[in-house]
Chains A and B, each alone.
Chain A
Amino acid sequence: MIEIKNIVKSFDGREVLKDVSTVFEKGKTNLIIGQSGSGKTVLLKCIVGLFDIDGGEILFDGRNNASMDFHERGLLRQEIGMVFQNGALFDSLSVEENVRFPMDMFTEMTIKQKLERLNFCLERVNIKDSNHLYPSELSGGMRKRVAIARAIALNPRYLFCDEPNSGLDPVTSILIDNLIKEITAEFDITTIINTHDMNSVMEIGDNILFISEGEKGWEGNSSQIFNTHNKKLNAFVFASPFSKQLKEIKQMEDDE
């Protein structure tokens, strides 16, 4: 479980996050949604420690990130797996070397143990016979899968995904969404996904945090989103005529 309390973050005097608090539960897919520039990526980067916060607290299962020393932070980071928007795979390393990288850096595993773990991770994300390919030889969907495999290589307690569906076709997006949801439940980890993909919101949103202009705009789950009267959220989620129609149909069904 990750708890954030009254997070404040500014850049050059401009407040990007204003007093944001919430709890991201373990074993569930927690989504952060919001318009571009609303502060959701900044929030995610604050939680993982890429940005220092100006105020508030971030608690990883009760452990305060801010009060940790350099060594403790290093250990905490080894419990974190992150999937970046474009995968962020190391260009100079093959698929196998990318997934093995955290094991090489932080474990004393034997070559055989590493190979077993590597194959397990790659099979878990449905990547086969691609061990010796380089990131430039992979499709967008494969890159995301390899990035997920690398993120889970050290059995993380916390998984972060920054727009995992960007640049993917709808079918591959659903596959990636389902994969993240399955992994979250299977390994009982705390997963936080930063997205503005409405399919993801509806399909895998166990907990949804809506960020609007740096503030917490709404919080709930995917079924509650249809019944909310929050104007900003409705304007964001049901922006297209198609999704507006969908909401009306859903409400009519609920009324009946």
Chain B
Amino acid sequence: MGVLHHIGQYFLLLVKIFKKPEKKSIYIRQLILEIEKLGINSIGIVAIISVFMGGIITLQLTYNMASPLMPSYIIGLGNRDTLILEFSSTVLSLMLAGKVGSNIASELGSMRITEQIDSMEIMGVNSASYLILPKIIAVVFMSPFLFIISVGCGLIGGLITGPLSGAVTVATYVTGITTLFVPFYVYFSIIKTFVFGFLISSVPAYLGYYVQGGALEVGRTSTKAVVNTSILILFFDLVLTQLLFK
């Protein structure tokens, strides 16, 4: 099937997803469950990765930018801006595409091949809306929080490794992370996390919802979902950077 067919089918699915819910209370219950499953359950891995990445960025900056002409607070500043501009929005979203995206694709794919989705349709339930809408809202809603947690943990990672490696003192590092702060960088990254959150939930949902075949196809679709979502995240990162920094 061609790319145009997929794009068309994807938008038709979105129309179906955003139709008026049958019963709001059931959707709200589903939303709370999805927030826990897709968002809150991701906090641990986001924190661990961010602490390590913050530490690594600090060390890399120390080893590569050590110069008598550079003030040492540049290490804290560099770590902060790298985390805000790219790591905690884009790289973290790529990681979430792997964790959350594959989860969504395999869950919906399994439901499709075991006729659970057909069963909902026959009951008169808008299966696309019931199954996918809470996931999209949950991921889009949680993405900015995960971004903030990631930035915080990354800065803590730098605060631990910087002074421990002897590259920078705590005071200089703190000076670095509070100097020349540009609030627009945060707004820019939060806009990105909304877009990436939508991609992370809707693209795997589309692929999982329309899977055909058996368990093997569900596995393949799960992989395909991660790859396609990652490419789209990078593409939209490029587009948004060009648009918002112009």
Instruction: Give residues in A with beta carbon < 8 Å to B.
Output: 48-50, 73-78, 80, 82, 84-86, 88-91, 101-102, 104-106, 160
Contact = CB atoms under 8 A, between A and B. Distances in A.
Interface in B41-98: none
B178 interface: no
Which of B115, B119, B125 is most buried by chain A, counting CB atoms within 10 A of its CB? B119
Interface string B109-133: 0110011101101111100000000
Interface class of chain B by DSSP: helix
Contacts of A78: 123-124
A88 B115 contact: yes
B119 A102 contact: no
Given A105-B22, A105-B23, A106-B22, A91 B116 contact: yes
A20 B124 CA distance: 26
Given A82-B119, A84-B119, A88-B119, A106 B124 contact: yes
B25 to A, nearest CB: 9
B114 A50 contact: no
Interface residues of B, number: 15
Interface in B172-190: none
A88 B118 contact: yes
13 contacts: A48-B122, A49-B121, A50-B118, A76-B124, A80-B122, A85-B115, A86-B114, A88-B116, A101-B123, A104-B23, A106-B22, A106-B123, A106-B124
A74 B124 contact: yes
Contacts of A105: 22-23, 26, 123-125
Contacts of A76: 124
Interface string B17-44: 0000011001000000000000000000
B132 to A, nearest CB: 15
Contacts of A77: 121-124
A167 B110 CA distance: 20
Nearest to B110: A91
Contacts of A160: 122
Contacts of A48: 122
Contacts of A85: 115
Nearest to A90: B116
B245 to A, nearest CB: 43
